[in-house]
Amino acid sequence: MKPDFWSNKSKAEKSLKQKKIYEDLIKNYENSIKQFDEFKDLYNLAFEENNDTVLKETETNILNLYKNIKRNEIKCFLSNEADSLNSYLEIHAGAGGTESQDWAEMLRRMYMKWASGKDFKYQLISEHKGDEAGIKSSTIKIDGNYVYGFLKSESGIHRLVRISPFDSGARRHTSFASVWVYPVVDESIKVEIIEKDLRVDTYRSSGAGGQHVNTTDSAVRITHIPTKIVVQCQSERSQHKNKETCVNMLKARIYEHELKKKEQELKNTENSKSDIGWGHQIRSYVLHPYRLVKDNRTNYESTSPDKILDGEIDEFLESSLYKLND
């Protein structure tokens, strides 16, 4: 380690984070080789002794080892500049009022449960409640290793088909919500923001009542005029802190906007957002008349929608990463 290693704390912390990631990859690989040799010897011994119990147990262990090797392989795919960064995740309800707003809240819960299952930290940055139930929009920040890399393929329209809990006639409804994922830009990535390109508005936060009610105009909304990107934050009581968070979110949005232009992977984000409905969905979640979650890009399917909505989305994320790296 160089004597001036800690002269730039942010750069040093990033280097240590990357070092740990690479060490974990190598350690996981070495452990996988060791476990495979042990399981192979145990399987051969059990086969010679005709021990069905140990054979079945070893087969299960080998299957779990295979899944772990796949997870390690997935991490090797995450080599783009932004993949290792934390992420903002933005959810918007589509047309359809209460139905779509409830669906948007279900999606927000799904991603929060996924983050919790990974021991990732998450923070609710901004949220607008629905008129009767659910949410009109929500932005959360998720901190953890390679969060953006794992979640970047979640951007798009998510479709839900179910018997509506809000319909007294118990009819089937189709709802849509959009999900947009942006990397949290760190100091190693330079994004220039010109003050005259910004319109800053303040407003009163629409948070919880009681002792938490916000009696000052501390919530902040910033519009980046050239790109028409809008970000907002109401999670802090301090207007200064909310503005600081907004600026960081704006840097992330502008960076992501430029990434998409360079990679030519998506059409203009704002045009996509304007049509949250048929023909644009990346994934369908069907709860009636059958139960199936299907990704329309990879054709990966699950017949356990309850587990998916409880945050068990790793197999969908992994299949998307494999598709991107074909």
Q: Which domain holds residue 291?
A: 87-188+276-324
pLDDT at 64 over 90: yes
Indicate if 160 and 309 belong to the same structural domain: yes
DSSP 226-271: TTTEEEEE-SSS-HHHHHHHHHHHHHHHHHHHHHHHHHT-SS-HHH
Indicate if 61 and 123 belong to the same structural domain: no
pLDDT at 139 over 90: yes
CATH number for the domain that contains residue 135: 3.30.70.1660
Indicate if 158 and 280 belong to the same structural domain: yes
Answer yes or no: is 61 within a domain: yes
Q: Please name the helix (run of DSSP H) or strand (run of DSSP E) that holds residue 285, with its range, or none.
A: strand 281-286
Indicate if 55 and 201 belong to the same structural domain: no
Q: What percent of the chain has pLDDT over 70?
A: 89
Answer yes or no: is 200 within a domain: yes
pLDDT at 233: 93
CATH number for the domain that contains residue 215: 3.30.160.20
Indicate if 101 and 150 belong to the same structural domain: yes
Indicate if 177 and 253 belong to the same structural domain: no
pLDDT at 257: 82
Indicate if 155 and 73 belong to the same structural domain: no
User: Is the separation of the CB atoms in 204 and 177 below 8 Å?
Assistant: no
Indicate if 162 and 285 belong to the same structural domain: yes
What integer is the mean pLDDT of 105-130?
96
pLDDT at 226 over 50: yes
Answer yes or no: is 82 within a domain: no
Indicate if 317 and 177 belong to the same structural domain: yes
What integer is the mean pLDDT of 52-70?
92
pTM for the whole thing?
Answer: 0.74
pLDDT at 267: 47
User: Is the separation of the CB atoms in 149 and 83 below 8 Å?
Assistant: yes
pLDDT at 276: 58
Indicate if 99 and 170 belong to the same structural domain: yes
> Which of 66-70, 120-124, 141-145, 199-203 has the weakest average pLDDT?
66-70
Question: Would you call 58 helix, strand, or coil by DSSP?
Answer: helix
Give the model confidence (pLDDT) of 85-116 as tens digits: 899 999 999 988 899 999 999 999 999 999 99
Indicate if 181 and 224 belong to the same structural domain: no
One-letter amino acid of 183: P
User: Which class for 11: exposed (0-12), middle (13-18), buried (19 or more C-beta within 10 A)?
Assistant: middle
Indicate if 93 and 166 belong to the same structural domain: yes
How many structural domains compose the chain? 3
